[in-house]
Amino acid sequence: MVKLFSKFKDKFMSEYEESDFPEEFAEDYVELDSKGDTPKAKIIVRPFVIDDFADVKPVLDSLREGYTIALINIKPLKDTDVVELKRAVNKLKKTCDAIDGDIAGFGEDWIVATPGFAGVHRENKEIGNIDE
């Protein structure tokens, strides 16, 4: 790469006098790192287990970062304290609403929560005609 730039410099410099160029072009080149320092963001599907209300915080933090789809096992809390379970689910719902995410239960013991870029597919169940 250095040789390539040297060839261009020699070719162009032979045609022009150095005084024809502004001073800022007189300095050597700057090598740029083509790899970059920032990694690409990946979507992570991450399991969580909620044993008590305090276990909700890591789930909320992951959702707020925006790159995590949370699969949450609520069975341990459901078996011990239903009031705390309702409190935890309400906290998850409020956070999902705030980040424009989605939340849904599947099965008896699992909840999925997603950030704003993803949604949860729900089957349309036909209830029947309301006017009847």
Domain assignment present for residue 9? The answer is: no
Q: What percent of the chain has pLDDT over 90?
A: 47
**Structural domain contains residue 78:** yes
Mean pLDDT computed over 112-118: 91
Q: pTM to 2 decimals?
A: 0.61
Between the ranges 40-49, 71-80, 117-126, where is the mean pLDDT highest? 71-80
Query: Is residue 11 one of the residues assigned to a domain?
Result: no
Q: Tell whether the model's pLDDT for residue 21 goes beyond 90.
A: no
Number of domains the chain contains: 1
Query: Under a CB-based contact definition with an 8 Å cutoff, are residues 50 and 72 in contact?
Result: yes
pLDDT of 32 over the 70 cut: no
Cα dihedral across residues 110, 115, 121, 124: positive or negative: positive
Q: With 0-12 CB in 10 A as exposed, 13-18 as middle and 19+ as buried, what is 125?
A: exposed
Whether residue 57 is predicted with pLDDT greater than 50 in this model: the reply is yes
| Residue 99: domain span | 44-114
Question: Which CATH number characterizes residue 67's domain?
Answer: 3.30.110.150
For residues 124 and 102, what is the distance between their CA atoms, to the nearest angstrom? Answer: 16
Mean pLDDT of the chain: 79
Does residue 91 lie within any of the structural domains?
Answer: yes
In terms of DSSP bridges, do strands 102-106 and 44-49 run parallel, antiparallel, or are they unpaired?
unpaired
